[in-house]
Amino acid sequence: MSAQQVPGGPVPGEGVGAGPGEAAAVGAPRRGNETVYFALRNPKLLAGAVVVAVLLVAALAVPPFLGGSPNAYVGPQAQPPSAEFWFGTTNFGQDVFAQFVHGLRSTFLVGLLGGGIAALVGMVVGFVAGYRGGLVDEVLNMITNIVLVLPAMVVLIIAAAYLEARGILVQSLFIGLTSWPWAARAIRAQTLSLATRDFVDLARLSGRRAHAIIFREIAPNMSSYLFMTFILLFGGAILIAAGLDFIGLGPPQGVSLGLMMHSAVSWSALQLGMWWWFVPPGLGITAIVGSLYIMNVGLDEVFNPRLRET
């Protein structure tokens, strides 16, 4: 993947005539406009964003209207979808729709926290290793490789099984702390190649500190790359959380899409033909992660000028 973008390319209506004083102010929005221009014309990005946005709005806006706990026994048992219970009810008379929207909430939360922590650790490790080089790089590289080859799922399972506090925050933390290595390696490689460019040396000659060089000189050259890394980590965290919940290692009192599937399977929804119990959470996870990946492809096209013309 190319870390370099061509800023301010052939954009319709690009006016060059900015006075020197406005230079810095004009530069950034023009680049932003161009990105937005191509983003709004990218069907993959738009479709993915719409699906994620709809689910996000459902997760944020709907639960307050429902009131009560999503696990409360509110209706008749094992009913298929109806006007009253849109997604039907469980074996115990719980509203599947209420569980679904609450589950979406925790799914987004895990994605944001787990993906965010992983992105943060991956960025710090990758940037520092790539920029500092030498011994620092070797040590960080070794740590990265160790975490990379650890069977993360097994560690998560063991940790989750023995940990008392099994809240969604702890789960996100564990996911975040085990899924960063590939991001760190990718960012390190990009940083290594950018750090040899003369503008980095020129920033040093200008008296810049190392962290300012990393975050204000090198990082902006790979902003699209970092954004895509976060999206992939976000989707990955959701999948791992769903997997943990599904095998019964999720937060015991919570609701999540993975936990819904776990109880559906535990209470033989499959054998009883209660498809409304396990299809919504399964589809929800697939839709979020799938849309994120499609958005990632779309973003690639938006940020990479060479992919645009196709």
Partner 1 sequence: MLRLDRVSKVYRVGSFGRERLHAVRDVGFEVRSGQVVALIGESGSGKSTIGKMVLGLTSITGGAITFEGTDVAGLRGHRAHKEYYRRVQGVFQDPFSSFNPVFPADRVFALIRAEYFPEVGEAEWRRRIEESLRVVRLDPAQVLGKYPHQLSGGQLQRILIARALLLDIRLLVADEVISMLDASTRIDVLNLLADLKARGMGILFVTHDLSLGNYVSDTAVILRRGAIAESGPADRVFTNPLHPYTRRLLSSVPRLHRTWAQADAELPADDGGCPVHGRAGAGDGSATLVEVEAGHFVGCAGDGEGGPCRPDPRA
CB of 35 to partner 1, least distance (A): 12
Q: Which is nearer to partner 1, 24 or 83 (CB)?
A: 24
Q: Which is nearer to partner 1, 190 or 256 (CB)?
A: 190
Count of CA atoms in the C-beta half-sphere (13 A) of 159: 17
Q: Which is nearer to partner 1, 89 or 221 (CB)?
A: 221
Token readout for 282 is: 């399964």
CB of 213 to partner 1, least distance (A): 10
SS3 183: helix
Amino acid at 132: R
- Count Cβ atoms below 10 Å from residue 151 Cβ, excluding itself: 10
Q: Which is nearer to partner 1, 41 or 197 (CB)?
A: 197
Spatial CA neighbour of 195 closest among 114, 152, 137: 137
CB of 229 to partner 1, least distance (A): 18
Token readout for 225 is: 């790359």
Token readout for 45 is: 């990005």
Q: Which is nearer to partner 1, 73 or 227 (CB)?
A: 227
Q: Residues 200, 133: contact at Cβ < 8 Å? A: no
Helices (H), 67-151: 96-132, 134-149
Q: Which is nearer to partner 1, 16 or 83 (CB)?
A: 16
- Count Cβ atoms below 10 Å from residue 202 Cβ, excluding itself: 12
Query: Which residues of this chain interact with partner 1, rule CB under 8 A?
Result: 4-8, 16, 18-24, 26-27, 31, 197-199, 201-210, 217, 220-221, 223
Q: Residues 285, 239: contact at Cβ < 8 Å? A: yes
Q: How many residues does the chain have?
A: 310
CB of 31 to partner 1, least distance (A): 7
CB of 201 to partner 1, least distance (A): 5
Pairwise CA distance, residues 72 & 179, whole Å: 35
Amino acid at 16: V
Q: Which is nearer to partner 1, 18 or 161 (CB)?
A: 18
CB of 214 to partner 1, least distance (A): 13
